[in-house]
Chain A
Amino acid sequence: MKQTVAPFPRQLALYCALAFASVAALAAGMIAVQGAPAAVSLLLLGALAVFGIHHGVVVPGKRLSFSPNVMVLMAAVVVFDNDRTAAGAVLVGLASGLFLPALGKRTWGWILLNGATWGCGAGAAALTYASLRGATSAALPLALLALLLPAAAFIIGNETLVVLSYVVEGGRAFKDIVVELAPQLASQLPFALLGFLLGRLYLSLGPTVMVLIIVPILIAREMFASYMRVKESHDETVGMLIHALEAKDRYTSGHSERVAEYARYIGEELNFMPARLERLRFAALMHDIGKLVVPNQLLNKPGRLTPEEFAHVRVHEKVSVQMLSHIDFLRPIAAASHSDNTKFDPDDPDHPIEPYIVMIADAYDAMTSTRAYRKALSQDVAFRELRDKAGIQFHPACVEALIVAVERRGEKHGAGFERDSEFDNAPVAGLGSAGLGDLLENEPSRTSSGS
């Protein structure tokens, strides 16, 4: 995937220059003590490192990235340790800062910082590796255990400078940044270990074998890039669908996005994994897809629908289920999404929870939005209605999850807090298919419903 360079804040410039100068001084010191590393290996591994920095793989939604650069640097640690010239690994690390987009934009701070972080990591690994020479040259799997230490040293050396840069830049807490970067650190470990083995192969068999390991990594990267493109296309297409839907039914402008947002709140409260959250987002965005087949005149009819018209509109639920069932990853959710099946049933533990979530998000947005036929209810009234019907109509845990999530975010929805209402003349109490007039004082009771 294409890597981009963000504008570099000036306050970091001094830090970057200092970090780079320190690591460069370390390399110079090592050369003075141990001598210069072999030029051929330095050029080859340096070129591979620069190549690697341009070909990282980012796993979408998981905050993970795999960079061949980690492997190249660890291989460099092994190769240069053979000549007792650890400076070689540090120099290869410093070369890793040469990221072409950054060079093109002349963001020197970015280049210096990256060179320093990779160089620092490589230096830490090289020194640790040298101190463990006896253990790391043992047979596998003992050597792998010993190699964990230089791998850890690499990660610590590399990430310490990264974390400090965040602290300098934004004054963020050290702990928060470490927590954010933790998955990234864990993902580097196997590639670091692989790099050590690659270094051994390089020493035994020459540089040709390096190609064999670079090829599958490049292919993995290419496939991830294709995956990202398809995913973007999917998102755009669904966006178009929502756009078309809302063009038909102007009373529910922004409804699908809001339902998807509330559904995400609930999913996050229930600790859904990213892939499940993604499925939930699609299900929520597309929950009204069947409205595409409802004639515009019915969707936009002001006032109350006749029973026949209402039945016609209700067909959209069946159509939604049919359409969503065509999509493999939505099928389990779609089958349970018809309104006949979304009413909470405590005796059905196998019922997927996602349709319950979408139903609550849908109902909450319907209550807190102004429609042509009535004004929005207040957030308190909507919360009260959800809690009143929890365990009867709505899944209780999902109701609480939504309320907790909204309150924790300090968000206000409903009367007085609407983002994009265009129905100033709507009546206060409900008319039409989802009037919800029962939720206001002194109104006869009716059942709440989504859009």
Chain B
Amino acid sequence: MTRRRRVVLVCVLGLVAGTIAHLVDSNGRADALTFLAAGLVLGELLALRLEDRGALPLSYAVLVVLASSFSLHEYLFAVLGAELVSILLRITDRSRGWRITIFGVRLAVAAATYAAYQGAWHLVGEREQVAPVLCALAAAAGAQLLVDVTASKLFRLGASFAARGRLAWLAIASSGMLMAIGYRGVNGHGRVGIWGPLLFSTPLLAAWYAFERLDSATRSYRQTIEALAMAPELGGMVPPGHAERVATLATAMGELLGLSPGDVRDLEMAALLHHLGQVTLDDPVGERGVDPAEVTAVTGAMLREIRPLVAAGEIIAGDVDDPKRRLAVQALRLASEYDDLTVRDHVPGDLAVESLRSAPSYVYDERVVVALERALRDRISAGR
């Protein structure tokens, strides 16, 4: 079932269940609780997607509403029910282990949200004024962040607090607080009931849409670059998988060398595309032996014509002055040479490293060779 269909299904079922709850318990809060539980499930389906396959679900905003307005057993009922339904809806997503992990993380976040809100609310003396209420709500949102970031690190669920993650968290936290205030009001003022979470989720949904577009565009762009990187390989000019392997190794080396995230990204692009220019060169059919310097020059010149790839072009051409970026140039060349030795020439890995290390000192900076060794060691220890 597509996500769109799942969303429609949850909306319809939530509406039906909420209406029944309203009819059965017209003076109670069962209808609001049901609608919010449906909101939790919807929030699980709609997540702000981050770099590195991470995601922050919109359900965190609904949790803040629930924690601030319902008793513990009502909260437990809504959270457990919603998370179980979410598990069923995720039945086709990834592995069973992943689904169980996510279920556990969500329960931990829900527990932290409730505990933090109640704790903070008690600390501020349960005063029904704007500032204390906002403090308690902020504590609940902060606890969510803490648990989610810890769990993401623990279970390698993606970088939930990287650059995009910080903005995502801010959007969810501020919307959750506003939705909660709209639902509960403060000292009887500003209370609009279930309409609060419903209407004040609009900016968050706008943010979700923007995150979706960005994620989709980023993925497409990355895939286009990878498709371009395949061209020399499909043409038999370089061994299959060369660009991807060099990109993985060079990126790891760049991180070990302390390059900035932007420089690492440029290095990765450079590594993926460093042979692209070869496809434009005139060479006799079926003959090898293209001049690598010419390939480098042509590729560098080609990429420098494209604004977003100028830096990658400079790395390939070796035309950089900044000492840090010089390391990126060397990391790319060393990673490429290592791959040539081990894959094309079938030299065992340790011998390849040894031969690269024994090259004259003006060829490769010692730090870059050390980074290569460490990156290879890390790869072995990670089982890749």
Q: Do A and B come from one complex?
A: yes
Q: B206 contacts A66, CB within 8 Å?
A: yes
| Residues of chain A lying within 8 A (CB to CB) of residue B170 | 215-216, 219
Residues in A220-255 with C-beta less than 8 Å from chain B: 220-224, 226-227, 230-234, 236-241, 243-244, 247-248
Q: B235 contacts A241, CB within 8 Å?
A: no
Q: Is A297 an interface residue (CB 8 A)?
A: yes
Rounded to whole angstroms, the CA-CA distance of A222 and B203 in the bound complex is: 13
Q: B285 contacts A240, CB within 8 Å?
A: no
Q: A193 contacts B199, CB within 8 Å?
A: yes
Rounded to whole angstroms, the CA-CA distance of A208 and B177 in the bound complex is: 12
Q: Is B364 an interface residue (CB 8 A)?
A: no
Rounded to whole angstroms, the CA-CA distance of A206 and B190 in the bound complex is: 10
Rounded to whole angstroms, the CA-CA distance of A197 and B308 in the bound complex is: 42
Q: B224 contacts A234, CB within 8 Å?
A: yes
Q: Out of B181, B231, B307, name the residue touching A233 (CB < 8 Å).
A: B307
Q: Is A394 an interface residue (CB 8 A)?
A: no
Shortest A136–chain B CB gap in Å is: 13
Shortest A38–chain B CB gap in Å is: 18
Q: Is B134 an interface residue (CB 8 A)?
A: yes
Rounded to whole angstroms, the CA-CA distance of A80 and B151 in the bound complex is: 47
Q: B306 contacts A240, CB within 8 Å?
A: yes
Q: Is B7 an interface residue (CB 8 A)?
A: no
Q: B225 contacts A204, CB within 8 Å?
A: no
Q: Is B72 an interface residue (CB 8 A)?
A: no
Q: Out of B186, B195, B199, B235, name the residue touching A204 (CB < 8 Å).
A: B186
| Residues of chain A lying within 8 A (CB to CB) of residue B303 | 240
Q: A212 contacts B174, CB within 8 Å?
A: yes
Stretch at the interface among B106-114, B275-283, B329-337: B275-283
Assuming A57-B206, A217-B203, is B195 touching A140 (CB within 8 A)?
A: yes
Interface string of B142-169 (1 = CB under 8 A from A): 0000000000000000000000100110
Closest residue of chain A to B282, judged by CB? A296
Rounded to whole angstroms, the CA-CA distance of A193 and B198 in the bound complex is: 12
Shortest A208–chain B CB gap in Å is: 6
Q: B308 contacts A244, CB within 8 Å?
A: no
Assuming A197-B199, A293-B235, is B302 touching A323 (CB within 8 A)?
A: no
Stretch at the interface among A84-92, A113-121, A176-184, A326-334: A326-334
Shortest A214–chain B CB gap in Å is: 8
Interface string of B178-207 (1 = CB under 8 A from A): 100110011001101101000110111011
Q: B308 contacts A220, CB within 8 Å?
A: no
Q: Out of A205, A211, A233, name the residue touching B189 (CB < 8 Å).
A: A205
Q: Is A186 an interface residue (CB 8 A)?
A: no
Interface string of B264-303 (1 = CB under 8 A from A): 0000000000001001111111000000000000000011
Closest residue of chain A to B276, judged by CB? A244
Assuming A204-B189, A213-B200, is B210 touching A223 (CB within 8 A)?
A: yes
| Residues of chain B lying within 8 A (CB to CB) of residue A232 | 307-308
Assuming A216-B206, A241-B228, A322-B234, is B280 touching A231 (CB within 8 A)?
A: no
Shortest B70–chain A CB gap in Å is: 20
Q: B214 contacts A236, CB within 8 Å?
A: no
Rounded to whole angstroms, the CA-CA distance of A240 and B181 in the bound complex is: 51
Rounded to whole angstroms, the CA-CA distance of A329 and B223 in the bound complex is: 10
Rounded to whole angstroms, the CA-CA distance of A292 and B181 in the bound complex is: 59
Q: A224 contacts B195, CB within 8 Å?
A: no
Q: A248 contacts B280, CB within 8 Å?
A: yes
Q: B220 contacts A327, CB within 8 Å?
A: yes
| Residues of chain A lying within 8 A (CB to CB) of residue B305 | 240, 243
Q: Which of A219, A222, A227, A328 has the most CB of B within 10 A?
A: A219
Rounded to whole angstroms, the CA-CA distance of A182 and B37 in the bound complex is: 36
| Residues of chain B lying within 8 A (CB to CB) of residue A392 | none
| Residues of chain B lying within 8 A (CB to CB) of residue A217 | 203, 206-207
| Residues of chain B lying within 8 A (CB to CB) of residue A415 | none
Assuming A141-B195, A240-B305, A293-B231, is B189 touching A219 (CB within 8 A)?
A: no
Closest residue of chain B to A236, judged by CB? B306
Closest residue of chain A to B129, judged by CB? A205
Shortest B166–chain A CB gap in Å is: 10
Residues in A284-337 with C-beta less than 8 Å from chain B: 289-290, 292-298, 312, 319, 322-324, 326-329
Rounded to whole angstroms, the CA-CA distance of A294 and B234 in the bound complex is: 10
| Residues of chain B lying within 8 A (CB to CB) of residue A208 | 130-131, 134
Q: Is A194 an interface residue (CB 8 A)?
A: yes
Q: Is B103 an interface residue (CB 8 A)?
A: no
Assuming A223-B167, A233-B307, is B231 touching A197 (CB within 8 A)?
A: no
Shortest B173–chain A CB gap in Å is: 8
Q: Is A265 an interface residue (CB 8 A)?
A: no
| Residues of chain A lying within 8 A (CB to CB) of residue B279 | 244, 248, 292-293
Residues in B207-229 with C-beta less than 8 Å from chain A: 207, 209-211, 213-214, 216-221, 223-228
Residues in B222-250 with C-beta less than 8 Å from chain A: 223-228, 230-232, 234-237
Q: Is A209 an interface residue (CB 8 A)?
A: yes
| Residues of chain B lying within 8 A (CB to CB) of residue A20 | none
| Residues of chain B lying within 8 A (CB to CB) of residue A141 | 195
Q: Is B59 an interface residue (CB 8 A)?
A: no
Q: Out of A66, A204, A234, A289, name the residue touching B221 (CB < 8 Å).
A: A234
Q: B227 contacts A324, CB within 8 Å?
A: yes
Q: A57 contacts B285, CB within 8 Å?
A: no
Closest residue of chain A to B309, judged by CB? A237
Q: B302 contacts A216, CB within 8 Å?
A: no
Rounded to whole angstroms, the CA-CA distance of A344 and B330 in the bound complex is: 52
Q: Is A191 an interface residue (CB 8 A)?
A: yes
Q: Is A343 an interface residue (CB 8 A)?
A: no
Q: Is A13 an interface residue (CB 8 A)?
A: no
Q: Is A258 an interface residue (CB 8 A)?
A: no
Q: Is A200 an interface residue (CB 8 A)?
A: yes
Q: A297 contacts B189, CB within 8 Å?
A: no
| Residues of chain B lying within 8 A (CB to CB) of residue A230 | 214, 217-218, 221
Q: A194 contacts B199, CB within 8 Å?
A: yes
Rounded to whole angstroms, the CA-CA distance of A327 and B228 in the bound complex is: 10
Q: B186 contacts A327, CB within 8 Å?
A: no
Q: Is A190 an interface residue (CB 8 A)?
A: yes
Assuming A205-B130, A226-B214, is B308 touching A233 (CB within 8 A)?
A: yes
Shortest A1–chain B CB gap in Å is: 11
Assuming A292-B279, A297-B285, is B223 touching A328 (CB within 8 A)?
A: yes
| Residues of chain A lying within 8 A (CB to CB) of residue B190 | 200-201, 204-205, 209
| Residues of chain A lying within 8 A (CB to CB) of residue B211 | 223
Assuming A190-B202, A211-B174, A327-B220, is B234 touching A319 (CB within 8 A)?
A: yes
Shortest B145–chain A CB gap in Å is: 15
Shortest A323–chain B CB gap in Å is: 4
Q: A197 contacts B282, CB within 8 Å?
A: no
Q: Is B175 an interface residue (CB 8 A)?
A: yes
Closest residue of chain B to A238, judged by CB? B224
Q: B202 contacts A191, CB within 8 Å?
A: yes
Rounded to whole angstroms, the CA-CA distance of A327 and B214 in the bound complex is: 16
- Since A237-B308, A243-B305 are in contact, a sample of 13 more A-B pairs with Cβ atoms closer than 8 Å, ordered by chain A residue number, is A194-B200, A201-B182, A205-B190, A213-B174, A222-B167, A234-B221, A244-B276, A293-B232, A293-B234, A296-B281, A326-B227, A328-B219, A328-B220
Question: 19 A-B residue contacts at CB 8 Å?
Answer: A57-B210, A140-B193, A144-B195, A206-B130, A212-B175, A216-B175, A219-B210, A220-B203, A221-B210, A227-B210, A227-B214, A227-B217, A232-B308, A234-B220, A237-B309, A289-B231, A293-B279, A322-B234, A327-B223
